[in-house]
Amino acid sequence: ISEWLDSESILFREVQPGLFLDWHHADSRVLIVILAGTIEVTLGSESRQFGPGSMVLAEDVDGQGHQTRDLTGPRQSIMIRVPDSFDVSGWKKLS
């Protein structure tokens, strides 16, 4: 499906439902893979929910940032720091 991609570091994370993080930034570009649980992410005036199997690229390292709320869980995810050269523009977007 793809060539090997470069990554800078990986974090395995577990978060209990109910956790709300007000406006904050990604500290670097991070590809987040949701393994279990459901998270709601608000960016600007739009909110979306992501569950198991979803991938989210958090790259809002400046500006207003985003809010997150863990809805079901515990949410388990893998967070992969990716370099600026990491390009997903050719990937299929799901609506």
Q: Measuring CA to CA, how many Å separate 79 from each of 46, 56, 76?
A: 22, 9, 10
DSSP 8-state symbol, 90: T
Q: Is residue 28 part of a domain?
A: yes
Q: Quick one: pLDDT at residue 1?
A: 61
pLDDT tens track for 56-84: 999 999 989 999 999 998 999 999 998 88
Which CB contacts under 8 angstroms, 24+ apart, belong to 51-58?
55/31, 56/31, 56/32, 57/29, 57/30, 57/31, 57/32, 57/82, 57/88, 58/26, 58/29, 58/30, 58/31, 58/32
In this structure, what CATH number is given to the domain that contains residue 65?
2.60.120.10
pLDDT tens track for 15-47: 999 999 999 999 899 999 999 999 999 999 999
Total domains in the chain come to: 1
Q: Is residue 94 part of a domain?
A: no
* Domain membership of residue 31 as a residue range: 9-81
E-strand ranges in the chain read 9-15, 20-24, 30-43, 46-50, 55-58, 66-81
